[in-house]
Structure 1
Amino acid sequence: MPKVPDELQPLLDHEPSFTNSAEPNQSTNNLQDGHVSPASNDRSIELDTLPETATFGRNLTWTSAYMLTISRIVGSGIFATPGNIYKSVGSVGLALTVWMVGAVIAACGLAVSMELGCMLPRSGGTKVYLEFMYRRPRFLASTLVAIQAVILGFTASNCIVFGEYMLVALDMEVTAFAQRTLAVGLLTAITIVHGCFLKTGIWVQNALAWVKIGLMAFMAILGVVALFLPQTSSCENAETLSLARLFEGSNWDLVALSTAIFKVSYSFAGYDNVNNVLNEVKDPVRTLKTMAPTALLTVAVFYLVLNIAYFIVVPLEEISNSGELIAALFFERIFGTSVGSTVLPILVAVSAAGNVMVVTFTLARVNQEVARQGFLPFAKYLSSSYPFNAPLGGLIVHYIPSLLVIVLPPQQDVYAFILDVEGYPAQFFAMAICIGTLWLRKSRSDLKRPFKAWRVAVWLRIALSSCLIVAPFVPPKDGGGDVGFWYATYAVVGGGLLVCGVIYWYLWTVLIPRLRGYRLEEEGDMLQDGTSVTKLVKVKNQ
């Protein structure tokens, strides 16, 4: 067995076992400067333990990775959900506690993603982890991830939000056509920027993330200033906000608390966004270990401070009845109706646009990784970074389903239903990753883990995923569902897609090859731009 270069020792306790690889000497000969050369034609899964540099280079600094994470987490949730959460739990103290619990749950999930990201520092995130953990049945994990990434990997929600709020800010009529036109325009512009002007796209998404941070800081300052403004409600809420009455009126019903915690958890979603693009992060392991917790802590502090600002400025009765308009009431209380009705839509539109940019940026890389493994048609073209030294093929794969989801659903309720379908299968992947993490600690103790998640954090994440999988089947009080469907329809459809994926995997990798007398094998290849890819070839049985 050839010796692994010294610069790789921080990642491995022992020399790697090159199982499922073409030739060991071919693999190690392509290791340069502690990374797998992009020109390597070996796609051995064992090399996932070693860093790999994208053909278009490592363009993400610590700051860029930090902004990528911030912008992914902060969408429209903090501007919409606090009112509903307060109404569910009944008191200021319990509402703030729920937000802190949500931050702890997010930290548990982040710890798992940090352990895996530092151990397997490759672009692809979930795809890389599931393939490394579940190598048998062969191709099953890859097939399911490919279906999730391509069919359900769209970013339509914030495109629609952007279109709606831009029309409101411009004082134009919010029609379905105008809203969808702006949504498609945003999606198209972002696809072109990321696909043709790589560094410009990174600069723009960093700038939008700074705008988000600035807006949240501005709102936090306004909350403090509001204490001294007579036109705000700080005097009305002062007695209720006292420590003695902070938990007065709390609703400790488990269903209400669970619903509130789930809503908060969704507001923290995206903390593992950088794991999808580690091939482009400078010093990925060290960056991930310090950047990710810093970004999550930043968001958690801002979320808590903004909730306090809402409670200072807006009367509690109005908060309880605000629905998703709490931020609008906040601005109206401070600046008046005319200014507030303009500032809030612009704020939400900017936040939505920033979210679309970073989601598109990362999901395009996941699609490119799926194509590199030969799981997409025209994989040679979709894997390449030609002609603009950017993952244009992965962006196109992301653009098509996103465009269809924006323009095809006939009404808003159906659109919301589709988004629920998108999120449900991800909970199965999250649970599988956590279980696989525990299994890898026993089966692959030879792997270096620069960061190791707390065991209780892994189990808590498993419990949360289990609850989110079961929750759709708990009958709601009104017994209804989206657009007249049964309340658990989206869960059945989302789970059904995974079942269809398993059936498809069995047909094309097991049954058809068995009937036709061949087997599927992976053959390494290299594109002209230096991208290493895998071709799935049919080998006749002897």
Structure 2
Amino acid sequence: MATNSNISPTAPKNHERRVEISDHEFLVNSLENSDDEENFKLKKELGLMDGVGIIVGIIIGSGIFVSPKGVIQFSGSVGMSLVVWVISGMLSTVGALCYAELGTMIPRSGGDYAYVLEAFGPLPAFLFMWVALTIILPTSNTVMALTFANYIIKPFFETCDVLPDIPVRLIAAVVVCLLTWVNCTNVKWAKNVQGIFTMAKICALMLIIGTGIQQLAAGNTQNYQGAFEGTNWSLSSISTAFYQGLFSFAGWNCLNFVVEELKDPFKTLPRAILISMPIVTLVYFLTNMAYFAVLDPDEVLASSAVALSFAGYVLGSLKYVMPIFVALSTFGSLNGCIFACSRLFFVGAREGHLPQALALINVNTFTPMPALIVLGFLTLCMLFTSDTLVLINYVSFSESLFVMMSIAALLYLRYTQPYRHRPIKVWLWVVVLFFLVCVFLVVLPVIERPMELGIAIGIFLAGIPVYVLCVRRSHKSNKFRDFMGSFTSVCQMLCHGLPEEKND
């Protein structure tokens, strides 16, 4: 939401920086932590392994521990479900490579927002920002926080079929506040948390895979006899099975949200994708093979949490470890999403589509503190319900729609700017194939859940009058400008923040 602020991003070259805030002045000292005092901005602190940790850590959340039920339900057989997992991984890798081309061609943080803005202009980009602000980001984070809370207290309520609602929501709120504080305090803390919990979830999956291999070696292969018998070959069933599988790979585009904080993004972004996506695909495939070495399809269908049912059969007294592992997995995913997604709000504010206060950087920690706090607040607001299925329905359609728009932007820029520098260029037929997959992912849910997705579309269209009033015509209202200027000044003092300095 554009405002004319009296905050000057320029500064003297010595160790003191004076900032005008309405009628007040405060002095910001000792910026020696900055790599370049003349260029105050988010620091490039993410290397190759940090990028791999972010992608793997966000993708591997709660999905692989619970979602195999949906894949087997609609695929109908063990063999076809494994095929679905492999092809879902391959399609997600193709999508990630398309985003690698976009991210190296348009090396700005913000992911889909930056690409839609570049190709189609401010209104479509604002609508993406609007939906991300109201639905996608806070809702996705809420789902992960609730999943963490459900699993962390599950060992204490083993005999209860339904967990108590209030404690679950309180724990979810606490973890959102904790991770928001970590990300506000230090980028290195955030990436260290991401690395530690990524290793924890890999250990959990290695435990499942190792146990499954042991079971297969002992001759428990009965579930693989006639692996494709009972396959649902109808188009609607197979397509829904793929939808379930692809949903579990969500997050493959997360590194594009923080491109400006990558060291050497032209090399780091594609390399991180090429390392992490095969790892996730292989881990998902082996994990599902392990599940079917112990559980038959009927047992998987009867289970609300496949990993817990698996642990109950083969781990004995160690079965109580699995809920903790699942909780740690979602904790790491939530941390990665908070880190990456807050940068979207930061970039949107920098472009004038959100209040300028969200484009402030804390002078001590070099983190976008106001954007992080707003994201945390919106996530807490979503805790009015603990029904994760309802929340997921709103998110999945919105995410698919804007991935489709980003791939459309890639095709559009290929046509309108054929000679633009592209450090990575994906084969055109691959881009077209993935675009068709995105169209399918948008159309199918509309047919299956028209009521819920009608509400999501209504929220999307509601962004148009907001754009007209708060962005296009904001400069015509002196009262609105004065209010937003005062709001930015207050946020600047409370968060000890400065706007980013632009390169000359």
| TM-score tier after normalising by the smaller chain length | 0.7 to 0.9
Q: Deviations over 1:18-60 (max 9, x none)?
A: xxxxxxxxxxxxxxxxxxxxxxxxxxxxxxxxxxx98241111
Cα distance between partner residues in 2 of 1:54 and 1:256 = 53
Q: Which residue of 2 aligns with 1:280?
A: 261
Alignment CA distance shift 1:54-1:316 (3 Å): farther
Cα distance between partner residues in 2 of 1:150 and 1:386 = 25
Query: Letter of the aligned partner of 1:354 in structure 2?
Result: G
Alignment CA distance shift 1:426-1:292 (3 Å): same
1:240, CA displacement in angstroms?
4.4
Identity value in percent: 26
Asked whether the 8 Å contact 2:307–2:322 carries over to 1, the reply is yes
Cα distance between partner residues in 2 of 1:346 and 1:427 = 31
Q: Deviations over 1:247-276 (max 9, x none)?
A: 122221111111110000001111111110
Q: Deviations over 1:475-505 (max 9, x none)?
A: 5xxxxxxxxxxx4222111111221112332
Query: Letter of the aligned partner of 1:473 in structure 2?
Result: V
Q: Deviations over 1:191-218 (max 9, x none)?
A: 0011012211211111111111222222
Q: Tell me, what secondary structure is at the counterpart of 2:224?
A: coil
Give the one of 159, 168, 182 matched to 2:145: 159
Cα distance between partner residues in 2 of 1:354 and 1:112 = 26
Asked whether the 8 Å contact 1:109–1:457 carries over to 2, the reply is no
Q: Deviations over 1:106-135 (max 9, x none)?
A: 122112101101111221111111111113
Q: Deviations over 1:50-106 (max 9, x none)?
A: xxx982411111111100000111111111121332232222211111111211221
Q: Which residue of 1 aligns with 2:331?
A: 353
Alignment CA distance shift 1:260-1:374 (3 Å): same
Cα distance between partner residues in 1 of 2:48 and 2:458 = 40
Cα distance between partner residues in 1 of 2:266 and 2:131 = 26
Task: Structure 2: give runs of 5+ residues left out of the alignment.
Answer: 1-38, 479-491
Query: Letter of the aligned partner of 2:501 in structure 1?
Result: S
Asked whether the 8 Å contact 1:160–1:180 carries over to 2, the reply is yes
Cα distance between partner residues in 2 of 1:206 and 1:509 = 39
Q: Which residue of 1 aligns with 2:445?
A: 472
Kindly report which structure 2 residues correspond to 1:66-465, keeping only aligned pairs within 5 A, or say none.
66-135=52-121, 139-152=122-135, 153-154=137-138, 155-171=141-157, 174-227=163-216, 234-235=219-220, 238-242=221-225, 245-322=226-303, 324-336=304-316, 338-340=317-319, 342-377=320-355, 379-380=356-357, 382-406=359-383, 408-409=384-385, 412-413=386-387, 415-465=388-438
Cα distance between partner residues in 2 of 1:425 and 1:249 = 33
1:529, CA displacement in angstroms?
4.6
1:389, CA displacement in angstroms?
1.9
Q: Which residue of 2 aligns with 1:478?
A: none
Alignment CA distance shift 1:248-1:188 (3 Å): same
Alignment CA distance shift 1:114-1:497 (3 Å): same
Which structure has the highest helix share of the two? 2
Q: Tell me, what secondary structure is at the counterpart of 1:474?
A: helix
Asked whether the 8 Å contact 1:418–1:490 carries over to 2, the reply is no
1:417, CA displacement in angstroms?
2.2
Alignment CA distance shift 1:198-1:508 (3 Å): closer
Asked whether the 8 Å contact 2:223–2:292 carries over to 1, the reply is no
Q: Deviations over 1:337-392 (max 9, x none)?
A: x432x122111101110110000000111111112223223x14642233432111
Cα distance between partner residues in 2 of 1:359 and 1:512 = 31
1:239, CA displacement in angstroms?
4.2
Asked whether the 8 Å contact 1:369–1:383 carries over to 2, the reply is no
Asked whether the 8 Å contact 1:372–1:532 carries over to 2, the reply is no
Q: Deviations over 1:211-231 (max 9, x none)?
A: 1122222221111122355xx
Kindly tell me the number of residue pairs found equivalent between the two proteins: 444
Asked whether the 8 Å contact 2:77–2:297 carries over to 1, the reply is no
Query: Letter of the aligned partner of 2:77 in structure 1?
Result: S
Cα distance between partner residues in 2 of 1:317 and 1:424 = 29
Alignment CA distance shift 1:102-1:515 (3 Å): same
Cα distance between partner residues in 1 of 2:297 and 2:105 = 47
Asked whether the 8 Å contact 2:200–2:325 carries over to 1, the reply is no
Cα distance between partner residues in 1 of 2:399 and 2:360 = 24
Query: More relative contact order in 1 or in 2 (CA 8 Å, sep 6+)?
Result: 2
Cα distance between partner residues in 2 of 1:440 and 1:88 = 37
Residues 261-270 or 56-65, more deviating: 56-65
Q: Deviations over 1:382-420 (max 9, x none)?
A: 4223343211111012111100001x23xx44x532332
Q: Tell me, what secondary structure is at the counterpart of 1:258?
A: helix
Cα distance between partner residues in 1 of 2:390 and 2:470 = 30
Query: Letter of the aligned partner of 2:400 in structure 1?
Result: Q
1:327, CA displacement in angstroms?
1.2
Q: Deviations over 1:156-194 (max 9, x none)?
A: 001001111111134477311110111011000000011
Q: Which residue of 2 aligns with 1:539?
A: none
Q: Tell me, what secondary structure is at the counterpart of 1:59?
A: coil
Asked whether the 8 Å contact 2:347–2:359 carries over to 1, the reply is no
Q: Which residue of 1 aligns with 2:33?
A: none
Alignment CA distance shift 1:423-1:82 (3 Å): closer
Cα distance between partner residues in 2 of 1:385 and 1:435 = 36
Alignment CA distance shift 1:202-1:510 (3 Å): closer
Q: Which residue of 2 aligns with 1:63?
A: 49
Cα distance between partner residues in 2 of 1:511 and 1:344 = 54
Alignment CA distance shift 1:206-1:418 (3 Å): same
Query: Letter of the aligned partner of 2:426 in structure 1?
Result: A
Asked whether the 8 Å contact 2:360–2:370 carries over to 1, the reply is yes
TM-score by length of 2: 0.82
1:304, CA displacement in angstroms?
0.6
Segments of 4+ moved more than 4 angstroms = 507-516, 526-530
Cα distance between partner residues in 2 of 1:451 and 1:309 = 37
Q: Tell me, what secondary structure is at the counterpart of 1:293?
A: helix
Asked whether the 8 Å contact 1:94–1:250 carries over to 2, the reply is yes
Query: Letter of the aligned partner of 2:185 in structure 1?
Result: C
Query: Letter of the aligned partner of 2:263 in structure 1?
Result: K
Q: Which residue of 2 aligns with 1:32?
A: none
Residues 431-440 or 452-461, more deviating: 452-461
Asked whether the 8 Å contact 2:352–2:471 carries over to 1, the reply is no
1:449, CA displacement in angstroms?
1.1
Query: Letter of the aligned partner of 1:416 in structure 2?
Result: L
Cα distance between partner residues in 2 of 1:199 and 1:298 = 24
Task: Structure 1: give runs of 5+ residues left out of the alignment.
Answer: 1-52, 476-486, 517-525, 535-542
Q: Tell me, what secondary structure is at the counterpart of 2:43?
A: coil
1:530, CA displacement in angstroms?
6.3
